[in-house]
Structure 1
Amino acid sequence: MTDDTTDEIMEATYTALCEHGYASLRMQDIADESTKSKAALHYHYDSKHDLLVAFLEHLRDELAGRVTEFREGDPSERLAEFLDEFLLPGDDTPGEEWGTAILEIKAQGPYDDAFRDRLQRIDDIWVDVVREAIADGVDAGVVREDVDPDDVAEFVVSLVMGTQARNVAIGYPRERTHASLTDYIEERVLVDGETLGVAEE
């Protein structure tokens, strides 16, 4: 299968998920959003489940490329940009329909080993990005030496992902968690005098 075909099918899957949600999604719905027939989709993927597993792998690859910018430069600025990207809505923030669809998929994790494995790989990227920024901050002298990068990364990512789920489920404002996490990092993680996103002269 060519890269163009894969990209088209993944984009069609995204669009169909946003329109129909996970529970109601059919292979025909995905075919309707692409130039491929249902039979053509089944040629590449035996079932809707197989296609969605591939879709999660695609999301993981996209996220890996997306977070490259958070792996270089000033550690404090990287942390600030990470929180802005995943907690503050912007022009390119996916809509409510996508948030609902991905939450439905995540809910299958406890029952589906393939889904859980791919979701874990996505989670690992988030944790690694924050862990690297914290560890680099310790080396650069902007993060306190007694801070454990693993603990902070797990805590931050748990709050970010939990907030995204609450936002979808009950409309909880992500900006509130953004403010709380900023305060936490400045008060408990950065050395005295440092402000998140602004390196001390």
Structure 2
Amino acid sequence: MTDAPTEILHATHRALCEHGYAELTMQDIADETDLSKASIHYHYDCKHDLLLAFLDHLYERFEARIADPEGATPEAKLRSLVDSIVTRQSDAPAFQTALLEIKAQSPYDDAFRERLRRFDDTFAAAVRTIVEEGIEDGSFRDDVDPDKVASFLTTFVNGVQTRHVGAGHPVEESTAALDAYIDEMVCCESDPGDDSDASNTGQTDSGGAAE
């Protein structure tokens, strides 16, 4: 059975999707539960306190989601990490719009800004770790600066989300640009001879499997 605070946080997600940040009320959140408005206020004094708790809740999920990106190589992990933030979040436009509204409050609200910064810092740290692994195993260029790559990707990913929600820019175009950046600026240039050999090997293997 879900405890009341958790139920309220889940209800906050649904209410944000329905009403957005600006129009959201404690009653809207209560309407998404079997609890009364007074019960919501028992756990959270006001909408601001509840949204701070909600951001903490989102951060815990975010931290767990990016902790172990899929992929057997640093390159695969890096692409998977970026994809988990860009592509996989684009199918929830109502929530992304509400979250963008919350982000818009952060210049005027230290508590919001502090919590949102944690998302950026955690994502950047994950990128940095993967890039360092790639440099060490030789799959990434040895002149790549992990801090600069982490900063660029963090900034770009934030921009992708804002541009998609605010201007309807296709996520696919942004994803292609990110892939090109990783190919050109991070990964080592492949040896054409090696690619040819790998291709031939792959064709042989495929033929054998088909038989």
Q: TM-score, normalised by structure 1?
A: 0.89
Q: Which amino acid aligns with 2:181?
A: Y
2:111 aligned partner? 114
Residues paired across the two proteins, number: 193
Counterparts of 2:4 and 2:119, CA distance in 1: 23
1:76 aligned partner? 75
Structure 1: stretches of 5+ with no match in the other structure:
195-200
2:144 is equivalent to residue 144 of structure 1? no
Instruction: Indicate which of 103, 121, 124 corresponds to 1:127.
Output: 124
Instruction: Indicate which of 97, 103, 122 corresponds to 1:100.
Output: 97
Give the drift of 1:186: 1.0
1:157 aligned partner? 154
Q: Which amino acid aligns with 1:14?
A: H
Note if contact 1:21-1:101 (Cα within 8 Å) is conserved in structure 2. Answer: yes
2:32 aligned partner? 33
Note if contact 1:71-1:132 (Cα within 8 Å) is conserved in structure 2. Answer: no
Q: Which amino acid aligns with 1:61?
A: E
Cα 1:93/1:173, change in 2 over 3 Å: closer
Residues 57-101 of structure 1 show CA distances to partners (whole Å, capped at 9, x for unaligned) of 001001011112228742111011123222225xx7542211110
2:65 is equivalent to residue 61 of structure 1? no
Give the drift of 1:178: 1.0
Q: TM-score, normalised by structure 2?
A: 0.85
Q: Which is bigger in relative contact order (C-alpha 8 A, separation at least 6)?
A: 1
Counterparts of 1:172 and 1:71, CA distance in 2: 27
Partner SS, residue 33 of structure 2: coil
1:49 aligned partner? 48
Q: What is the root-mean-square deviation of aligned Cα atoms in Å?
A: 2.0
Structure 2: stretches of 5+ with no match in the other structure:
192-197, 199-211
Note if contact 2:5-2:43 (Cα within 8 Å) is conserved in structure 1. Answer: no
Q: Which amino acid aligns with 1:104?
A: E
Counterparts of 1:102 and 1:11, CA distance in 2: 15
Residues 6-56 of structure 1 show CA distances to partners (whole Å, capped at 9, x for unaligned) of 321111000001111100100000010012211111111111100000000
- Superposition pairs for residues 10-25 of structure 1, below 5 Å? 10-25=9-24
2:184 aligned partner? 187
Note if contact 2:70-2:76 (Cα within 8 Å) is conserved in structure 1. Answer: no
Structure with greater helix percent: 2
Note if contact 2:70-2:80 (Cα within 8 Å) is conserved in structure 1. Answer: no
Note if contact 1:87-1:175 (Cα within 8 Å) is conserved in structure 2. Answer: no
Give the drift of 1:173: 0.8
Runs of 4+ aligned residues of structure 1 deviating over 4 Å after TM superposition are none
Q: Quick one: percent identity of the two aligned structures?
A: 47
- Report the more deviating stretch, 126-135 or 109-118: 126-135
